[in-house]
Structure 1
Amino acid sequence: MHSPASLPSLPQSEAELLQRAHQLAGQSFAALAAQIGLAVPADLKRDKGWVGTLLERHLGASAGSKAEQDFAHLGIELKTIPVDAQGKPLETTFVCVAPLTGNSGVTWQSSHVRHKLSRVLWIPVEGDRAIPLAARRVGTPLLWQPDEEEERQLREDWEELMDMIVLGQVERITARHGAWLQLRPKAANSKALTEATGEYGEPILTLPRGFYLKKTFTGRLLARHFLL
């Protein structure tokens, strides 16, 4: 067993980050894990964040508070995206936790969602369940920032969802609301309740919610950039 190489330091520039990301392309999870002495779990049932952790360590992400971007000094967020053999996303992409109280005066410009999605380093990874986790490989990275049309639609979705939260309609929000952005419960179990506002302005307890990007959005984004 080789002793693991020391973990890379924080990348000093966008170019350095992209270079590191390109060096990961085509490598298997097993090979990348061995390089840094990380054990590969049998599957991701209990280790949902394992792939993200593996890539963060190779790229030198500052594993700080998740309210900020993964590479805050570069203004870049890292998002891994499991894809099938055709390069289509297999799941929605978590953006950030949704604030359910204290939202008076919050705007799209100052929102966490906009901050997190202002510049994203997307790294597609093989997500087909038929491929053993250790054998799955990393794809070609893509550094993206929303164009005017993407920003407009994301803002409209965010405003629609936030209006419903503020008006006490959080319990009525379904995955159908929002064209590209959706609001979903995000909790390990149904006992993890948080405070929100009810329809009559009264405090209620509900499941924590998170903002997620729908597969229609990420699928379109990958297809456009990789000409699938």
Structure 2
Amino acid sequence: MQPSPPTSEHALLERACNLAGQTLGELAVQAGISVPMDLRRDKGWVGQLLEWHLGASAGSKPVPDFDNLGIELKTIPIGYNGKPLETTFVCVAPLIGLHGLSWEKSHIRHKLARVLWVPVEGERDIPLPDRHVGSPLLWSPSEEEEQQLRRDWEELMDMIVLGQVEQITARHGEVLQLRPKAANSRALTEAYGANGQPIKTLPRGFYLKTHFTAALLERYFIL
């Protein structure tokens, strides 16, 4: 039976600390969850496994994973050098209905207000069941980090409003990037074109760049 949702930050952090040092295979057995061959088709599997153990209650609802605590869970695959191996997905970006939207009221700011980061071994030559879970970190953006995120968000949202969504590349943004997020190229959504007309384009997601998450982990774990 899945653990009930934690009732405090301390209880959540304690649970996460208890997972540190265990392998994904061990945790899967405890949860009665089968381990996929690899993560190519099951990208969210590691996160779902840890959500189960930690008692996350949000499911697929657009709220933080631990809604009663306002805390989002983010697993982060780590290489042998202790650095993140890939960017971190935060949330889907809004492409229409943007009038009056501000950073303060944005979904992404809400998602990043309080994050439980759980590093997990991610090198491809380590079989998935043998990968270890690392020590967790409960984080809120510093004033400087929030300013970086806000600047990037405002720049990217300005481009979307001006009908330049198709011109945005992963190079835009200092710590935040916007890139297509869709299971296939037929999953199109509405956006603004250059003249303000509606166009069809791939959904976009906000991702944290690896140097941002690497600096965050370094600062807290002094790797």
Task: State whether TM-score is above 0.5.
Answer: yes
3-state SS, counterpart of residue 111 of structure 2: helix
Q: Distance in 1 between matches of 2:62 and 2:208?
A: 17
Partner of 1:59: 54
User: Given residue 105 of structure 1, which amino acid in structure 2 is its aligned partner?
Assistant: G
**Consecutive unaligned residues in structure 2, runs of 5 or more:** none
Partner of 1:20: 15
Cα distance, 1:219 vs. partner? Answer: 0.6
Deviations 1:177-199 (A, max 9, x none): 10000000000111111000000
Partner of 1:109: 104
Partner of 1:31: 26
Cα distance, 1:121 vs. partner? Answer: 0.2
Q: Which of the numbers 148, 152, 166 marks the counterpart of 1:153?
A: 148
User: Given residue 152 of structure 2, which amino acid in structure 1 is its aligned partner?
Assistant: D
3-state SS, counterpart of residue 26 of structure 1: coil
Identity %: 70
Partner of 2:90: 95
Cα distance, 1:85 vs. partner? Answer: 1.2
Cα distance, 1:69 vs. partner? Answer: 0.3
Give the TM-score of the pair, scaled to structure 1. Answer: 0.97
Q: Distance in 2 between matches of 1:16 and 1:125?
A: 20
Q: Which of the numbers 197, 202, 216 marks the counterpart of 2:211?
A: 216
Q: Which of the numbers 190, 194, 197 marks the counterpart of 2:192?
A: 197
Q: Which of the numbers 99, 104, 123 marks the counterpart of 1:128?
A: 123
Structure 1 residue 226 corresponds to structure 2 residue 194: no
User: Given residue 19 of structure 2, which amino acid in structure 1 is its aligned partner?
Assistant: L
3-state SS, counterpart of residue 196 of structure 1: strand
Tell me how large the CA RMSD over aligned residues is.
Answer: 0.7
How many equivalent pairs are there? 223
Q: Distance in 1 between matches of 2:217 and 2:9?
A: 20
Give the TM-score of the pair, scaled to structure 2. Answer: 0.99
3-state SS, counterpart of residue 182 of structure 1: strand
Cα distance, 1:217 vs. partner? Answer: 0.4
Structure 1 residue 184 corresponds to structure 2 residue 179: yes
3-state SS, counterpart of residue 27 of structure 2: helix
Partner of 1:84: 79
Q: Distance in 2 between matches of 1:40 and 1:192?
A: 28
Q: Distance in 1 between matches of 2:203 and 2:66?
A: 26
**Consecutive unaligned residues in structure 1, runs of 5 or more:** 1-5
Q: Distance in 2 between matches of 1:63 and 1:69?
A: 7
Q: Distance in 2 between matches of 1:9 and 1:162?
A: 38
Partner of 1:49: 44
Cα distance, 1:11 vs. partner? Answer: 0.4
